[in-house]
């Protein structure tokens, strides 16, 4: 039985409310946290939902505090939902040893290796459990869902949408890890969560999935040209761009001159992204 989430704090914002919640997750078998912005139109109406997936080291708080998204969500009548980036405080060996694996770095996969497979099931949490929770306790419309994210969360948004074109109507990303099988971050995470057989990794690599996906909506990506992770080969937008061209998918890849990987970059272009989702979900 799904249990009502506990609201830990709530604030008024642009005539709507930002709430922070915790609940016991059946999928992750531990307490999980998420945040929700309900725009003023949520009173008496069932509204479209846009999920935000955050990047490495982030929590359910970063986006709601830093992105400046609420004023545009209020304008367009969109519910915003931001889950935490992993289970936490489990006491697993190696859980907090590095910033790019374990706590704060769930990579939106369903882990298959021990001990991670008991709790690190972020893909199913994001695509199934959290939407069910939103439908049960919030005025959200599961028939009108979009998803977006940043960095590791951009990777998560792309794979969730591309693998589930029947569940999401829109997708966008800021500086996503667009080809994780080809970068150090992705290889470390996939090896740790999914094992050494790289064929299992393909199910979580957007540049692999898009070639065979039934997704047929425009994909919006913003990438800053001054992003320090771009020359390091961690993001690889050009690989995803080539895969989309091969598959005949509509990709709007905007290279934003002088912008980096920070929330200053996200805040600058968040209005464009929410407009992108609003047009698809209205």
Q: What is the DSSP letter of 44?
A: T
Burial of 8 per CB tally in 10 Å (0-12, 13-18, 19+):
exposed
Rounded Cα distance between 275 and 171, Å, is 12
Element (H, E) at 255: strand 251-256
Q: Please state the rounded mean pLDDT for residues 5-26.
A: 98
Range in 42-46, 51-55, 255-259 with the lowest mean pLDDT? 42-46
| ∠ Cα 117 237 65 (to 5°) | 65
* pTM of the full structure: 0.97
Reported as a pLDDT band with limits 50, 70 and 90, residue 2 is low
Kindly state the percentage of the chain with pLDDT values over 70: 99
Q: Note the pLDDT tens digit of each residue in 207-248.
A: 999 999 999 999 999 999 999 999 999 999 999 999 999 999
Mean pLDDT of 153-171: 98
Q: Average per-residue pLDDT in the chain?
A: 97
The predicted structure's pLDDT at residue 282: 87
For residue 86, the model assigns a pLDDT of 98
Catalytic residue list contains 273: no
Task: State how beta strands 79-83 and 47-53 pair.
Answer: parallel
Residue 119 has pLDDT above 60, yes or no: yes
The mean pLDDT of 180-203, rounded to a whole number, is 98
State residue 250's pLDDT score. Answer: 98
Which residue, among 252, 266, 107, has the nearest Cα to 174 in the 3D structure? Answer: 266
Average pLDDT score over residue span 160-187: 98
Q: Would you state the pLDDT for residue 44?
A: 84
User: What pLDDT, on a 0 to 100 scale, did the predictor assign at position 42?
Assistant: 95
Question: Which of the following is catalytic: 25, 151, 172, 207?
Answer: 151
| pLDDT (mean) for 169-193 | 98
Average pLDDT value for residue range 31-56: 96
Residue 94 pLDDT greater than 90, yes or no:
yes
Q: Over 70: is that where the pLDDT of 1 sits? A: no
Name the residue among 68, 204, 78 with its Cα closest to residue 145. Answer: 78
3-state secondary structure 171-231: EEEECCCCCHHHCHHHHHHHHHHHCCCHHHHHHHCHHHHCCCCCCCCCEEEEEECCCCCCC
The DSSP secondary structure of 52-92, one letter per residue, reads EE--TT--SSHHHHHS--HHHHHHHT-EEEEE-SS------
Note if 155 is an active site residue: no
Of 2.40.128.50, 2.60.120.620, 3.40.190.290, 3.40.50.1820, which CATH number belongs to 6-281?
3.40.50.1820
Catalytic residue of the set 23, 150, 261, 277 = 261
Q: What is the pLDDT of residue 3?
A: 80
Query: Catalytic residue among 84, 110, 205, 227, which?
Result: 227
- The conformation of residue 260, written as its DSSP 8-state character, comes to -
Rounded mean pLDDT of 188-195? Answer: 98
Identify whether 35 is a catalytic site residue: no
Classify residue 104 as left (phi > 0), alpha (psi -120 to 50) or beta: left
**Nearest residue to 108 via CA among 214, 184, 175, 186:** 186
Token digits for 185?
């971050």
């Amino acid at each position: 039985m799904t249990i009502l989430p506990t609201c830990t704090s709530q604030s008024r914002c642009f005539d709507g409310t930002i709430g922070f919640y915790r609940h016991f997750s059946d999928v992750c078998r531990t307490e999980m946290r998420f945040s929700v912005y309900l725009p003023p139109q949520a009173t008496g109406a069932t509204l479209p939902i846009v999920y935000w997936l955050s990047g490495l080291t982030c929590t359910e708080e970063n986006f709601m505090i830093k992105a400046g998204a609420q004023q545009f969500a209020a304008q367009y009548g969109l519910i915003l939902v931001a889950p935490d980036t992993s289970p936490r405080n489990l006491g697993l060996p190696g859980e907090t040893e590095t910033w790019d694996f374990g706590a704060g770095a769930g990579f939106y996969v369903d882990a298959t290796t021990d001990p991670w497979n008991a709790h690190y099931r972020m893909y199913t949490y994001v695509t199934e459990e959290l939407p069910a929770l939103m439908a049960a306790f919030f005025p959200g419309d599961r028939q009108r869902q979009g998803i977006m994210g940043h960095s590791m969360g951009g990777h998560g948004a792309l794979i969730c949408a591309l693998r589930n074109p029947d569940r999401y109507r829109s997708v966008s990303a800021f500086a996503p890890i667009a080809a994780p099988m080809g970068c150090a971050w992705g290889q470390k995470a996939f090896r740790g969560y999914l094992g050494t057989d790289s064929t299992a990794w393909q199910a979580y690599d957007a540049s692999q999935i898009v070639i065979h996906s039934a997704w047929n909506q425009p994909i919006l990506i913003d990438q800053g040209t001054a992003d320090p992770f771009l020359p390091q080969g961690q993001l690889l937008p050009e690989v995803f761009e080539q895969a989309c061209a091969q598959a005949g998918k509509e990709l709007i890849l905007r290279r934003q001159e002088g912008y980096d990987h920070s929330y200053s970059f996200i805040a600058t272009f968040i209005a464009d992204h929410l407009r992108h989702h609003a047009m698809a979900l209205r």
